[in-house]
Structure 1
Amino acid sequence: MNLPDQVAEALLAPLVDQHCRGVRRDDLVRSAFETLIAASETPAPPGTTHFDSPIGMAVRRWCAPVLGLEPHVPPAVYLARRLELGAAEVNRLLLRAAGVVAFLMDGGDEQDVLSVAETGRLGGAAADEIVRLERIEEEIAADGLPSLDYLDRLAHEVGVRASRCVGFSSVVAYRCGLDFEPGRPSRGLLLAAAGRRLADPKQPLTDPVLLRHLLWIAVDVARERALPIQFPCGNGGDRPHRGDPALMSGFIQALLPLSVPVILLDCYPFHRQAAHLAAAFPHVYVGEATTAVLGELLELVPFHKLLFGSGGAGVAETCYLGAHNHRRGLGRVIADRLESGDWSVADAVRVAHMLGSANARRIYRL
């Protein structure tokens, strides 16, 4: 891939990873590692291995040299090197090799994964938190409060968390689908839903009334503090078709006068619908992690509406590969645009910087 020097430098510039989660801090045996690189997060069928997959091949090709190995080493050699170096050193090498200047992390409070601060320290970068709304609710529900106290605490705690984060996220798509009623729930509906919820508080939150209420609490706080809200979409849960972001167009329209940024993540195979929403609404953005559709997105999405995010989680290899694939994928798209004469070199440099970091810096106020 022959690119002008200015474009190559722009692609290698530090990235803002606006969509990642914590990676494991402990040494991993093969079965645990393979589970973490599998999309299904389940063991491979007997007689097979998750290394025989696109990500498994990518780990052996691109991550092996970062750990001081030859490309394409056998899985056993790669994993032995991982154990030899130790989890802390593996995480340090891979996170720093990603070339990220800021990690914006959803979560990171589990005991077995790196915290936000640890990720920043090992990655040699800034690190800030994206607060998962459903996690806040589940912590409060577990306290066994009366309904009114539970509702008051929800509003209070979302406001408190907002003071130390750069954005919110919601997995409403995977809990009840994106075809939820867009308006605020009535007080009567809310009290009834709270009663049902507190009768069985140990289960994940799936009640559409409470999920909608939680979103509107976050909207009010986000408007006051100029925070964006992320929405993972795409195929997820037991009703994958309900991850189509077009289904939440009513909610998106309701937010238009409030100017709260909405960032649609993991949109494949509904990336065209997400692109349409980003083009149609000034407060809607698309987070790019699937580089296979990057060319399509750049045909549809305004360039100031597209943001890089590795989607990394579980093991540091996923963060590194997310950044590596972004640079390679965008490089291929730019090469095609330059060869066809559709873009100038200056255009390509500007787009690379916007997608890689500038858009995220503006939206998250970094």
Structure 2
Amino acid sequence: MDHHVHGALKDDVSQSVFETLITESDRAIPAWMSQFDSQVGFAIRRWCAPVLGLPRHAAAAEYMKARASLGTDEVNRRLLSGAGVGHFLVETGYRGDEILNPEQMGQSAGQRASEVVRLEAVAESIVESGVTAKSFPERYVQALANATTHAVGVKSIIAYRWGFDFEPARPAKVAVIEAARNWLEAFANGGPLKVEDPVLLRFFLWAGVDRGLPIQLHTGYGDPDLRLDRCNPLLLTPWIKLIEPASVDIMLLHCYPYHREAGYLAQVFPHVYFDVGLGVNYTGVQSEQILAESLELTPFSKLLFSSDAWGPAELHYLGSALWRQGMTNVLQRWVDAGDWSEDDAIRVVNMIATENATRVYKLAGGRS
């Protein structure tokens, strides 16, 4: 079960565009370099090329030629179904018009797919449809309830918009209204729709707590729109403590290079879980080390699998392939050394791959 993922591309793309989609950088790629000359690029040529009918390590130009010949629909079908993921939990808040929605993801993969709703996207949708500052708090809560009727969780990108060094307490309603007024006035005067006010971002988080669904939080590594030093999950500790009585589970996503810190939080707080999804794809063959480090402190019932793939279906496939290979290599060493039994290794793999997410998102009850 891929507990945090985005849709695969809808349309064909050129090699130049494809290369911009296999990096977290949002800057233009210099003419003298290729993103294929990176861990993720080498991993695509190693793992995905055979799925498209090519030999392992096929040249990048040959790979892209085969990709174009097959077409995006067939590439998606092969890679999504080949990933061996039985259930995708799809977060739909980022550039949704360019990617498959949850239903289309399920159809392409031949598997189940459920939706995770981005908290900030709900706010932006009601601003676009028209709202007053005074009515904003109530409108947001209602819009969130409507948007999550069939969702299995919510997600916040406060790490991108502000960072984790925010005031943890629930903001007062008057402060939310004032922040909404400033945002609405700025938007009416040509300002960005993107919400960056820390009061509003905290309000969304607390509304998510009130909704009661698991809350996913982007943590650590990402594009230059964030400040990585302000995305250390340890900065969330005061807020994590405040919401503990609400019994709402917090899902720390990706976490690299703070996966050890995330493992500590998952160990000491019953309602904190984490994954190393994005870090696995982008570290390629070195992801085995990250997977081993993710197993250091955390109880194995608190660790989940995700790919965080967005766009090229290669990233959906790689998230699974690299995780399987890395976990196999790490656990086999421990079994061979006599430190773990084979039965325990298999049991832990099943927990991380499927069982933990099934429990946390209450999927055994049929929510989808």
Q: TM-score, normalised by structure 2?
A: 0.91
Partner of 1:21: 6
Alignment-derived partner of residue 62 in structure 2: 77
List aligned pairs for 1:321-336, cutoff 5 A.
Answer: 321-336=318-333
Find the counterpart in structure 1 of residue 146 from structure 2. 160
Query: Does the 8 Å contact 2:256/2:276 carry over to 1?
Result: no
Answer yes or no: is 1:205 the counterpart of 2:195: yes
How far off is 1:42 after superposition? 3.7
Identity rate, percent: 43
In 1, Cα distance between equivalents of 2:86 and 2:167 = 38
Please give the residue correspondences for 1:1-366 in structure 2 after superposition, counting only pairs within 5 Å.
16-107=1-92, 110-201=96-187, 202-222=192-212, 227-236=213-222, 237-289=225-277, 290-291=279-280, 292=287, 293-366=290-363
Between the aligned partners of 1:27 and 1:350, the Cα distance in structure 2 is 40
Contact 1:136 1:158 (8 Å CA) reproduced: yes
Contact 1:31 1:43 (C-alpha < 8 Å) held by counterparts: no
Partners of 2:186 and 2:100 in 1: how far apart? Answer: 30
- AA aligned to 2:236 is M
For residue 50 of structure 1, report the CA deviation from its aligned partner.
0.9
User: Tell me, what secondary structure is at the counterpart of 2:12?
Assistant: coil
| Counterpart residue identity of residue 303, structure 1 | F
Query: Any idea what SS the aligned residue of 1:148 has?
Result: coil
Instruction: Give me the whole-angstrom Cα distance separating, in 1, the residues matched to 2:299 and 2:129.
Output: 45
Q: Deviation at 1:235?
A: 3.3
Secondary structure at 1:194 match in 2: helix
CA–CA distance in structure 2, aligned partners of residues 156 and 149 of structure 1: 11
Alignment partner, residue 284 of structure 2: none
- Kept in 2, the 8 Å contact 1:19–1:105? The answer is yes
Q: How big is the shift at 1:176?
A: 0.8
CA separation of 1:98/1:41 partners in 2, compared to 1, >3 Å: closer, same or farther? farther
Q: In structure 2, how many angstroms separate the alpha carbons of the residues matched to 1:238 and 1:120?
A: 31
Q: Deviations over 1:87-127 (max 9, x none)?
A: 10000000011000000011167222111101110011100
Q: CA deviation at 1:238?
A: 4.2
- Tell me the residue number matched to 1:10: none
Aligned length: 347
Distance 2:166 2:35 in 1: 36
Please state whether the residue corresponding to 1:308 is helix, strand or coil: coil
Describe the SS at the equivalent of 1:263: strand
CA distance in 2: counterparts of 1:62 and 1:238, whole angstroms: 30
Aligned residues of 1:34 and 1:43 also touching (Cα < 8 A) = no
Mapped partners of 2:32, 2:161: distance in 1: 34
> Following TM superposition, by how much is the alpha carbon of 1:335 offset from its aligned partner in structure 2, in angstroms?
1.2
Report the counterpart of residue 7 of structure 1 in structure 2: none
Q: Unaligned 5+ residue runs, structure 1? A: 1-15
For the structure 1 residues 283 and 23, does the alpha-carbon distance in structure 2 shift closer, same or farther, using more than 3 Å as the test? Answer: same
